[in-house]
Amino acid sequence: GLALGLWRRQAALAAAREDEEEKELRQRFMAPPVSGLRELRRRRRELRSRMELLIMETQAEVCRALADLDPGASFAVDSWERKEGGGGISCVLQDGEVFEKAGVNVSVVSGLLSEEAARQMRSRGKSLKAKDGKLPFCAMGVSSVIHPKNPHVPTMHFNYRYFEIEEADGTKQWWFGGGTDLTPTYLNEEDAIHFHKTLKEACDKHDLKLYPKYKKWCDDYFYIKHRGERRGIGGIFFDDMDSPSKEEVFQFVKSCAKAVVPCYIPIVKKHCHDSFTPEEKQWQQLRRGRYVEFNLVYDRGTKFGLLTPGSRIESILMSLPLTARWEYMHNPPESSKEAEILEVLRNPKDWVH
């Protein structure tokens, strides 16, 4: 009887502790996780669960930091389900005082890879051996695009994701990808240096070779070929990262995710009350047009989303600005502030040395 009583008391304590933990996690996140807190706790040692917790935490951290700067506005939190497996949480703020549109999305999806998506991956050198033409996959990530109202505050984008595919013989291929990059309307060297230095510090904790490699990859990736210019002043970008080990890559991705708020929020604080002219606002609209061109023509994530059956189009196109402009044959005057940013977009600079 004594042993049973002790066991019951321990079980009750454990249950109370779990409830407490669950409450704390709920307060920490913007919405309950896609996989459910119980499931995540049950499999908490598995990397998939740890990655889902990381993307949920990153979403909440970024949303809270943005909401602090724009107290009049609030995030619409939208949890959605995908009938093919999984779902996501979209947090979108629109028409604020500081942010015209800011979205931070989490998605955790699983199912069978579409033929088109598999073809896209094979074209990047992935040898995927399907079983009866089927490839089970699981993908999760956090992605965000922030379009401020003021032309002196840059647009920022980040995305960190994990992918797992099970091949015909049961072996699993896995990799991480992601990055953080800045798209200013006007060039401010001090901001560019701060942004790049913060990302470099996150990379340097793991390997000094990572920042230069991923900075170059970012400049090459966000390239609008038909314009001959980059989308912005870069940052870091990597994909298909599957070495040295799962744990080491996860820790690196975690450092990058934790660098998002410190690399960007100080820049917003510094400029969100700067005065601007209607001409400066118009130039911002034209630059946003370029942003749209890149995302719809070249961006791999957008393409993958549009090719995945049952994906949520509203969440994929969240990256597009509320307003943008396309003028016929627009060319800024030589040696103007507008021409200055174009020069950097055509010829990327080293910001940290």
Residues marked as catalytic: 157
Q: Distances from the Cα of 286 to the Cαs of 228, 244, 282, in angstroms?
A: 16, 42, 6
- Separation CA 177–CA 172 (nearest Å): 17
Q: What angle do CA 149, 224, 128 make, to 5 degrees?
A: 110
Q: Distances from the Cα of 292 to the Cαs of 30, 64, 302, 310, 321, in angstroms?
A: 27, 26, 11, 23, 8
- Separation CA 250–CA 242 (nearest Å): 10
- Separation CA 235–CA 238 (nearest Å): 11
Question: Is residue 140 a contact partner of residue 85, using CB atoms and an 8 Å limit?
Answer: no
Q: How far apart are the first and last CA of the chain?
A: 72
In this structure, the number of other CB atoms found within 10 A of the CB of residue 243 comes to: 9
Q: Count each helix (H run) and each strand (E run) in the chain, helices first.
A: 12, 9
323 by DSSP, 3-state: which?
Answer: coil
Question: Is residue 166 a contact partner of residue 174, using CB atoms and an 8 Å limit?
Answer: no
Gyration radius (Cα) of the chain, Å = 22
- Separation CA 128–CA 107 (nearest Å): 23
Which two structure tokens, joined as six digits, stand for 72? 């009049």
Strand order, beta sheet including 136-148: 76-81, 86-94, 99-112, 136-148, 155-166, 172-183, 234-241
The owner of tokens 């060319």 is 331
